[in-house]
Amino acid sequence: MDNPADSATSDLAPTLARLRAAWQQRKPDHAQRRGDLQRLRDALKGRLDEMADAIAADFGHRSKDESRIADGMTVLNDIDHLLKHLRGWMKPRRVGVGWRFLPARAQLRPVPLGVVGVIAPWNYPVNLALIPLATAIAAGNHVYLKPSEHTPRTSEFLRRLLAEVFPADRVAVALGGAEVGAAFAALPFDHLLFTGSTAVGRKVMAAAAPNLTPLTLELGGKSPAIIADDYPVELAAARIATGKWFNCGQTCIAPDYVLVPAARRDALVAALRAQVHARYGAALSNLGDYTRIVNDGQYARLQGYLDDARARGVEVVTLAGAADAAQRVLPPTLLLDPGDDARVMQDEIFGPLLPLKSYRTLDEAIAYVNAHDRPLALYPFSNHRQTVEKILHATLSGGVSVNDTLFHFAIGGLPFGGVGPSGMGAYHARAGFDAMSKQLPVLWQARWTGGDLLKPPYSKAKWLLDLIVR
């Protein structure tokens, strides 16, 4: 049954037309962009508790501190970075023309595109809505946002927040389920950014194709951690535990599996168990800091991975507590050396399950990564620079944190994006500003130029032709 607050699909195109007409009438200058970003920052900063409450209600429970970090701090950090660099990024960049075309001069002008569409997912529903929205605003665009239907309270929070910050003809929000999402993706945006699964990303790309809408696709996949022989298992376990069980593993760049030397696998199991006990209690008693699975469908999917693994004889190790379907509590769980035929090794996990895969040589581990789709993130653990460089040289991923997990996403100056099935294009920082702008090439011709001589009969300018074609 539709929510009465859902947007009618018939309203989507007129809303886009209104946003575009307003943008065409008054394209945002530096003062407007800066003012918009500052008001957005102030409004979100003042509502972090309300935001965390909305997210917790959508998840059944989510740590307020995790929401403040992942959906609060990250957005504030990106807005701060945009504000710091906005004036410099807006300036035209001089481009050399080469001696053959002197005395002409050339430049690249970052010009706003128009209206940018943003389709945000449920796992970090504020972060992954407001960071691309803020970036599009910084680039001088208007924005039409489609938040996730799976976090309806947070989506309504975003609608109210943005209505207070922006005029209705500058930022609009569409609420609704799959039907609204499909119609939204088919609109003729000037740029469309989608964050979600690879499967849905394919549908978004197909919907955008008739309009040739430029796309940024932030997808997912299976992001591996590789622990080298030299790296302390206890420290690797601590950092992998943070990356894996933050938000209960419902993170697109969470470690999806760990490649560990065979002789060190059991030590890693013990170290991960110790980390879970220290964070959540041996009986999973600290449920206040442990986020729930977002809905019954996701819970059933993850439970299906465990059932499939057990049926295949895979050793399943629950690190603390027990599952509780009624509360959608799924404890931190390891799966030891599952085969590639196991469903948990075929799909992006997006939950608290962590396969450990043993390897004999580093080359074997690298070959395993390269035999699968290019991941959104890669996490090499080694104190030997040569080992890390070997891994980086031999693999390709969307982004890398060396000797840690997740944190490359939060660095304001680093672009974020996948490669191949894990995504297309990038945003954050200058990369996002450039992606949501047209880098307009402009040539300024001089009053007198040798180009005026390059016309038939070419025999009259043979000396010039001989000069430039040498």
Contacts of 278 (CB under 8 A, 6+ apart): none
Tokens of 440: 């307009």
Distance CA 247, CA 467 (A): 65
User: 3-state DSSP helix/strand/coil percent for the chain, to nearest 5?
Assistant: 50, 15, 35
CB 390 within 8 A of CB 234: no
Catalytic residue among 66, 248, 252, 348: 252
Angle of CA points 198, 122, 281, to nearest 5°: 105
Catalytic residue among 218, 234, 248, 348: 218
381 pairs with which residues across the strands?
A: 227
Q: Cα dist. 173→168, 176, 189, 371 in Å?
A: 9, 10, 14, 41
The answer to whether residue 248 is catalytic is no
CB 441 within 8 A of CB 95: yes
Length of the chain (residues): 470
C-alpha closest to that of 437 among 222, 131, 146, 139: 139
The answer to whether residue 218 is catalytic is yes
What sign does the CA torsion over 141, 144, 148, 151 have?
positive
CB 435 within 8 A of CB 417: no
Q: Could you check whether the bond before residue 103 is cis, i.e. omega within 30 degrees of 0? A: yes
Q: Exposed, middle or buried: residue 440 (CB in 10 Å: 0-12, 13-18, 19+)? A: exposed
HEC secondary structure over 357-422: EEECCHHHHHHHHHCCCCCCCEEEECCCHHHHHHHHHHCCCCCECCCCCCHHHHCCCCCECCCHHH
| C-alpha neighbours within 13 Å on the C-beta side of residue 247 | 24
Active site residue ranges: 218, 252
